Amino acid sequence: MSAIDELVAEFARLPGIGRKTAQRLTYFLLKQPGESTARLSRAVAALSERVRACSRCGNLTEADPCAICTDPRRDPSVVCVVEEASDVLAVERAGEFRGHYHVLGGRLSPLDGIGPDALHLTALLARMGPGSLVREVIVATNPSVEGEATAHFLERLLRPTGAAVTRLARGLPVGGELEYADSVTIAQALQARRTMGDA
Ligand SMILES: [Zn+2]
Protein backbone atom coordinates (compact mmCIF):
# COMPACT_ATOMS: atom_id res chain seq x y z
CA MET A 1 0.00 0.00 0.00
CA SER A 2 1.34 3.46 -0.82
CA ALA A 3 2.02 5.99 1.96
CA ILE A 4 -0.92 8.06 0.72
CA ASP A 5 -3.32 5.11 0.65
CA GLU A 6 -2.14 4.04 4.07
CA LEU A 7 -2.86 7.41 5.70
CA VAL A 8 -6.19 7.74 3.88
CA ALA A 9 -7.16 4.32 5.25
CA GLU A 10 -6.13 5.34 8.80
CA PHE A 11 -8.05 8.63 8.68
CA ALA A 12 -11.11 6.84 7.28
CA ARG A 13 -11.21 4.65 10.40
CA LEU A 14 -11.76 7.72 12.61
CA PRO A 15 -15.32 8.50 13.78
CA GLY A 16 -17.18 10.87 11.49
CA ILE A 17 -14.49 10.74 8.77
CA GLY A 18 -15.56 9.31 5.44
CA ARG A 19 -13.29 8.31 2.59
CA LYS A 20 -13.53 11.72 0.91
CA THR A 21 -12.61 13.66 4.05
CA ALA A 22 -9.78 11.19 4.68
CA GLN A 23 -8.39 11.97 1.23
CA ARG A 24 -8.79 15.71 1.75
CA LEU A 25 -6.90 15.55 5.07
CA THR A 26 -4.12 13.48 3.53
CA TYR A 27 -3.62 15.81 0.58
CA PHE A 28 -3.75 18.79 2.94
CA LEU A 29 -0.91 17.28 4.97
CA LEU A 30 1.10 16.64 1.81
CA LYS A 31 1.13 20.37 1.16
CA GLN A 32 2.31 21.25 4.69
CA PRO A 33 5.96 21.83 5.61
CA GLY A 34 7.75 18.74 6.94
CA GLU A 35 8.02 20.16 10.47
CA SER A 36 4.25 20.54 10.70
CA THR A 37 3.52 16.91 9.78
CA ALA A 38 6.33 15.74 12.09
CA ARG A 39 4.65 17.63 14.95
CA LEU A 40 1.35 15.91 14.18
CA SER A 41 2.91 12.45 14.12
CA ARG A 42 4.75 13.15 17.39
CA ALA A 43 1.49 14.27 19.03
CA VAL A 44 -0.25 11.07 17.87
CA ALA A 45 2.63 8.89 19.10
CA ALA A 46 2.64 10.67 22.48
CA LEU A 47 -0.98 9.59 23.03
CA SER A 48 -0.11 5.92 23.38
CA GLU A 49 3.24 6.59 25.04
CA ARG A 50 2.08 8.98 27.75
CA VAL A 51 -1.68 8.64 28.24
CA ARG A 52 -3.03 5.77 30.30
CA ALA A 53 -6.07 4.97 32.43
CA CYS A 54 -6.04 6.17 36.05
CA SER A 55 -5.74 3.05 38.22
CA ARG A 56 -8.35 4.44 40.61
CA CYS A 57 -11.09 5.90 38.39
CA GLY A 58 -10.25 4.86 34.83
CA ASN A 59 -10.05 8.44 33.58
CA LEU A 60 -7.39 9.08 30.94
CA THR A 61 -4.33 10.68 32.46
CA GLU A 62 -0.58 11.10 32.18
CA ALA A 63 -0.10 10.94 35.97
CA ASP A 64 -1.50 8.01 37.94
CA PRO A 65 -3.67 8.57 39.99
CA CYS A 66 -5.19 11.33 37.90
CA ALA A 67 -5.46 15.02 38.83
CA ILE A 68 -9.14 14.62 39.77
CA CYS A 69 -8.53 11.67 42.13
CA THR A 70 -5.69 13.53 43.88
CA ASP A 71 -7.36 16.97 44.07
CA PRO A 72 -7.90 17.66 47.81
CA ARG A 73 -10.63 20.22 47.02
CA ARG A 74 -12.84 17.55 45.47
CA ASP A 75 -15.38 15.58 47.45
CA PRO A 76 -14.54 11.84 47.57
CA SER A 77 -17.97 10.97 49.03
CA VAL A 78 -19.70 11.45 45.66
CA VAL A 79 -18.71 9.38 42.63
CA CYS A 80 -20.08 10.10 39.16
CA VAL A 81 -20.12 6.95 36.99
CA VAL A 82 -19.72 7.54 33.26
CA GLU A 83 -19.34 5.28 30.23
CA GLU A 84 -16.20 6.76 28.71
CA ALA A 85 -13.34 9.06 29.68
CA SER A 86 -14.65 11.58 27.15
CA ASP A 87 -17.80 11.84 29.33
CA VAL A 88 -15.63 13.03 32.25
CA LEU A 89 -14.67 15.98 30.06
CA ALA A 90 -18.31 16.71 29.28
CA VAL A 91 -19.35 16.68 32.96
CA GLU A 92 -16.29 18.74 33.96
CA ARG A 93 -17.16 21.29 31.30
CA ALA A 94 -20.56 21.76 32.95
CA GLY A 95 -18.68 22.99 36.04
CA GLU A 96 -21.34 21.68 38.43
CA PHE A 97 -19.74 18.52 39.79
CA ARG A 98 -16.97 18.56 42.41
CA GLY A 99 -16.77 14.87 43.32
CA HIS A 100 -14.82 11.97 41.91
CA TYR A 101 -15.47 9.84 38.81
CA HIS A 102 -15.55 6.23 37.77
CA VAL A 103 -15.18 5.34 34.09
CA LEU A 104 -16.90 2.08 33.11
CA GLY A 105 -15.15 1.76 29.78
CA GLY A 106 -18.42 1.13 27.93
CA ARG A 107 -22.03 0.17 28.56
CA LEU A 108 -23.99 -3.05 28.74
CA SER A 109 -24.98 -4.13 25.26
CA PRO A 110 -25.97 -7.80 25.07
CA LEU A 111 -26.51 -7.59 21.30
CA ASP A 112 -22.86 -6.59 20.87
CA GLY A 113 -21.75 -9.21 23.38
CA ILE A 114 -20.83 -6.56 25.99
CA GLY A 115 -21.74 -7.95 29.40
CA PRO A 116 -20.85 -6.86 32.94
CA ASP A 117 -17.43 -8.52 32.70
CA ALA A 118 -16.40 -6.05 30.00
CA LEU A 119 -16.99 -3.05 32.29
CA HIS A 120 -14.71 -1.84 35.11
CA LEU A 121 -17.08 -2.98 37.83
CA THR A 122 -14.61 -4.81 40.08
CA ALA A 123 -12.67 -1.58 40.52
CA LEU A 124 -15.92 0.29 41.28
CA LEU A 125 -17.00 -2.25 43.89
CA ALA A 126 -13.52 -2.11 45.40
CA ARG A 127 -13.92 1.64 45.83
CA MET A 128 -17.23 1.03 47.58
CA GLY A 129 -15.91 -1.62 49.98
CA PRO A 130 -15.68 -1.48 53.78
CA GLY A 131 -14.34 1.82 55.06
CA SER A 132 -15.27 3.54 51.79
CA LEU A 133 -15.97 7.28 51.93
CA VAL A 134 -18.46 7.01 49.06
CA ARG A 135 -21.98 8.04 50.13
CA GLU A 136 -23.54 8.70 46.74
CA VAL A 137 -23.04 7.30 43.27
CA ILE A 138 -24.43 9.42 40.45
CA VAL A 139 -25.05 7.22 37.43
CA ALA A 140 -24.35 9.39 34.39
CA THR A 141 -24.51 6.77 31.66
CA ASN A 142 -25.92 8.00 28.35
CA PRO A 143 -29.71 8.43 28.00
CA SER A 144 -29.82 5.58 25.46
CA VAL A 145 -31.43 2.14 25.82
CA GLU A 146 -28.06 0.60 26.70
CA GLY A 147 -27.19 3.49 29.03
CA GLU A 148 -30.49 3.05 30.90
CA ALA A 149 -30.01 -0.72 31.16
CA THR A 150 -26.51 -0.11 32.51
CA ALA A 151 -27.88 2.38 35.05
CA HIS A 152 -30.43 -0.13 36.37
CA PHE A 153 -27.80 -2.85 36.51
CA LEU A 154 -25.56 -0.55 38.56
CA GLU A 155 -28.40 0.36 40.90
CA ARG A 156 -28.98 -3.32 41.73
CA LEU A 157 -25.25 -4.00 41.96
CA LEU A 158 -24.55 -1.08 44.31
CA ARG A 159 -27.68 -1.33 46.47
CA PRO A 160 -26.01 -3.64 49.05
CA THR A 161 -23.21 -1.09 49.58
CA GLY A 162 -25.68 1.26 51.27
CA ALA A 163 -24.62 4.26 49.18
CA ALA A 164 -27.37 6.32 47.57
CA VAL A 165 -27.56 5.63 43.83
CA THR A 166 -28.87 8.58 41.82
CA ARG A 167 -29.45 9.10 38.12
CA LEU A 168 -29.13 12.26 36.04
CA ALA A 169 -32.52 13.90 35.56
CA ARG A 170 -34.33 13.63 32.26
CA GLY A 171 -33.80 16.55 29.95
CA LEU A 172 -30.79 15.13 28.24
CA PRO A 173 -31.93 14.22 24.74
CA VAL A 174 -33.08 10.58 24.75
CA GLY A 175 -30.80 8.44 22.61
CA GLY A 176 -28.25 11.25 22.67
CA GLU A 177 -24.84 11.17 24.23
CA LEU A 178 -23.51 13.03 27.23
CA GLU A 179 -20.41 13.92 25.28
CA TYR A 180 -22.42 16.08 22.89
CA ALA A 181 -24.84 17.62 25.41
CA ASP A 182 -24.36 21.28 26.22
CA SER A 183 -22.95 22.28 29.61
CA VAL A 184 -26.15 23.94 30.86
CA THR A 185 -28.18 20.79 30.16
CA ILE A 186 -25.65 18.61 31.99
CA ALA A 187 -25.50 21.02 34.96
CA GLN A 188 -29.32 20.98 35.22
CA ALA A 189 -29.48 17.20 34.91
CA LEU A 190 -26.96 16.92 37.76
CA GLN A 191 -28.86 19.37 40.00
CA ALA A 192 -32.17 17.56 39.43
CA ARG A 193 -30.76 14.05 39.78
CA ARG A 194 -33.12 11.53 41.36
CA THR A 195 -32.65 8.51 43.57
CA MET A 196 -32.89 5.20 41.75
CA GLY A 197 -34.67 2.11 42.96
CA ASP A 198 -37.65 3.88 44.58
CA ALA A 199 -40.07 2.98 41.81
ZN1 LIG B 1 -8.51 9.07 38.71
Q: Residues 184-196: pLDDT tens digits? A: 888 888 888 888 8
Q: Residues 29-50: pLDDT tens digits? A: 999 999 999 999 999 999 999 9
Q: For residue 197, how far is its CA from the centre of ligand 1 (angstroms)?
A: 27
Q: Residues 167-180: pLDDT tens digits? A: 987 766 666 678 87
Q: For residue 8, how far is its CA from the centre of ligand 1 (angstroms)?
A: 35
Q: For residue 100, how far is its CA from the centre of ligand 1 (angstroms)?
A: 8
pLDDT at site 175: 67
Q: For residue 128, how far is its CA from the centre of ligand 1 (angstroms)?
A: 15
Q: pLDDT averaged over the chain?
A: 91
Rg (CA), the chain: 20
Cα first-last separation, the chain: 58
Average pLDDT in the 127-134 region?
90
Lowest mean pLDDT among 53-57, 68-72, 134-138, 169-173: 169-173
Q: For residue 191, how far is its CA from the centre of ligand 1 (angstroms)?
A: 23
Q: For residue 149, how far is its CA from the centre of ligand 1 (angstroms)?
A: 25
Q: For residue 101, how far is its CA from the centre of ligand 1 (angstroms)?
A: 7
Of 136, 146, 145, 196, the residue nearest 169 (C-alpha) = 196
Beta carbons of 84 and 146 less than 8 angstroms apart: no
Q: pTM higher than 0.75, yes or no?
A: yes
pLDDT at site 84: 95
Beta carbons of 159 and 165 less than 8 angstroms apart: yes
Q: Residues 77-104: pLDDT tens digits? A: 999 999 999 999 999 999 989 999 999 9
- pLDDT band (50, 70, 90) for residue 135: very high
Q: For residue 60, how far is its CA from the centre of ligand 1 (angstroms)?
A: 8
Q: For residue 62, how far is its CA from the centre of ligand 1 (angstroms)?
A: 10
CA distances, 131 to each of 72, 78, 125, 198 (Å): 19, 14, 12, 26
Q: For residue 34, how far is its CA from the centre of ligand 1 (angstroms)?
A: 37
Q: For residue 81, how far is its CA from the centre of ligand 1 (angstroms)?
A: 12
